[in-house]
Structure 1
Amino acid sequence: MKMIKAAVILLFSVMLTSIGSTTVTEAKQEQTKELEIDELFNGKEGTMVLKSLKNDKVYEYNKERVSKRFTPESTFKVPNALIGLQTSAVRDEYEVKRWDGVVREFDSWNRDHSLASAMRESAMWFYQDMAKDIGETRMQEKIRMLEYGNQDITGGIQSFWLDSSLKISALEQINFMEKLVKEELPFEEKHQKTVKRMMIQNEQDDYTLHGKTGTRLSDLGLGWYVGFIDIKKDTWVFAVNINGSGTEAKNITLETLKQMGIIEVGK
């Protein structure tokens, strides 16, 4: 009799667990909506994830690609800046590195830069130098703490994020960005505030846009735009990647925000 009673209790427990799991899955499905933005990708493969932090509603385009990992390219400047500040490889956003005189791809790179200006102009050499100053041991430790993508930096301390070993998905970019917005990353809050401030790209009366593009410069075959937008009653985090450029990814993001009514058309 005791064995039968125990078996009944176990069966009931399994049923409750199964029902609970199904309920959670259904709730997640209800919270996820499909973005109908085919025309914005103009025939190119890509994906977008957009999440409201007020009600946790998630919008996705091309669900099959949201979990696929790609190299972060220059979007890695966001965690790189955080790690640089946390390890004191740079003192603050104003610390300047002197240009070494080597002429690089873009005129805006060929001058002295601060942490903030190098973020704004996406000056690769500044962040490569800083990564070298951070060093492999500390870089690996901090990337593991951030749980950033596949956490693989074997591609070399100055290049692992550039068409190399480090890879991250759009969903993982969203999770990282949400923690940054909420200042829940395992770093000092002041550094998270600094990096968010450095990411500001557009300030209007009714919204503030924070973002970072990334482009695979070798062939322009991968573009990213990640970040978040603060509006009066909500914050939305976003991540877009496309078989194209970071500029294309940014344009898709802005048009989607307008279609969703998050940004007013014309702004």
Structure 2
Amino acid sequence: MKLKKLWLLLILLIVAGSAATIPVSAEKQVKELEVEELFEGVDGTTVIKNLQTNQVYVYNKERSQERYTPESTFKIANALIGLQTKAVRDEYDVKRWDGVEREFEDWNRDHTLASGMRHSVIWYYQAMARDIGYENMANYVKQLNYGNQDISGGIDQFWLDSSLKISAQEQVQFIENLVEETLPIDEQHLKTVKRIMINEEFDTYILHGKTGSRLSDYGLGWYVGYIETDKGVWVFATNMAGSGSKAKSITLNILKEINIIKE
């Protein structure tokens, strides 16, 4: 009986000692943002993460976990896949305008991968998606772990109010992987896409981002990306019942409110 007790005590000591050697990982700090007034009564969410400290700011946590169609924010992933599969050579690869008049004047001309990102030219990225092909697209959307990974809505439509859906939390993780260059994409292509995402460049910060809007009714707007300052890098994703331009405006105001952007 004593022997059994000794063995039990020995086992407990070994387990306790082993447990003590396992480092306890620090939980991510999550701070609820009080920015309801910036959304002006419209339903929306924002997630912002500091990549140096893992500090996360969230407004409307419940919505941040809900998946929505990415709309033109998928151009980021689309560009990565297009470069990786050689559907386009580089950021200067030109596609000729087909002469069809579209709703935005900037779309009615020839474009490159970079200008197509800058002006959110849907037809350019639709043509590139067709060149990528269904098999390649499905494979890389899965490898990128992009949202629900469902491209069944059609090779040139699945991200536009269709089958592909992603949450703000998942967008932030995707952008973090892009910034950290841990995606299964060649380094040169990661750097190219990060470069063509630049929206604003000042002495104190560089803003990389992409808007997205559901053009049929402007019932969904996105702004996702990251900002580099001398104090660190923050990734972000905002979505709301509105336009992408409004989502961008709200994001910038929040970045100012929490002193990431200094006025």
**In which range does the TM-score fall when normalised by the shorter chain?**
over 0.9
Amino acid in the other structure paired with 1:236 = W
Residue matched to 1:198: 196
| C-alpha distance in 2 between matches for 1:46 and 1:13 | 47
Q: 3-state SS of the aligned residue for 2:78?
A: helix
Q: Normalization by structure 1: what TM-score?
A: 0.91
Amino acid in the other structure paired with 1:231 = T
Change (3 A) 1:6 1:45: farther
| C-alpha distance in 2 between matches for 1:151 and 1:243 | 23
Aligned residues with identical type, % of pairs: 60
Q: Deviations over 1:129-183 (max 9, x none)?
A: 0000000000000111100100000000000000000000011100010111111
Residue matched to 1:135: 133
Change (3 A) 1:105 1:56: same
Shift of 1:80: 0.1
Residue matched to 2:60: 62
Q: 3-state SS of the aligned residue for 1:101?
A: coil
Structure ID, larger Rg: 2
Q: Deviations over 1:164-221 (max 9, x none)?
A: 0000001110001011111111110000000000000100001000000000011100
Residue matched to 2:182: 184
| C-alpha distance in 2 between matches for 1:111 and 1:3 | 84
Q: Deviations over 1:197-249 (max 9, x none)?
A: 00001000010000000000111000000000000120000000001110111
| C-alpha distance in 2 between matches for 1:7 and 1:245 | 65
| C-alpha distance in 1 between matches for 2:109 and 2:192 | 23
The aligned runs of 1:83-94 (5 Å cut-off) are 83-94=81-92
Moved over 4 A (4+): 1-10
**Structure 1 residue corresponding to 2:155, chosen from 154, 157, 173:** 157
**Structure 2 residue corresponding to 1:207, chosen from 205, 213, 229:** 205
Residue matched to 1:235: 233
**Structure 2 residue corresponding to 1:167, chosen from 165, 170, 173:** 165
Q: Deviations over 1:50-101 (max 9, x none)?
A: 0001111000000111111000000000000000000000000001000000
Q: 3-state SS of the aligned residue for 1:220?
A: coil
Q: 3-state SS of the aligned residue for 1:28?
A: coil
Change (3 A) 1:6 1:238: same
Q: 3-state SS of the aligned residue for 2:248?
A: helix
- Is 1:221 aligned to residue 219 of structure 2? yes
Change (3 A) 1:3 1:177: farther
Residue matched to 1:34: 32
| C-alpha distance in 2 between matches for 1:202 and 1:192 | 19
Unaligned runs of 5+ in 1: none
RMSD of the alignment, in Å? 2.1
Shift of 1:7: 11
Q: Deviations over 1:96-119 (max 9, x none)?
A: 000000111111001000000000
**Structure 1 residue corresponding to 2:244, chosen from 219, 243, 246:** 246
Residue matched to 2:123: 125
| C-alpha distance in 1 between matches for 2:131 and 2:186 | 20
Shift of 1:261: 1.0
The aligned runs of 1:106-125 (5 Å cut-off) are 106-125=104-123
Aligned residues: 258
Unaligned runs of 5+ in 2: none
Amino acid in the other structure paired with 1:188 = D
Amino acid in the other structure paired with 1:197 = R
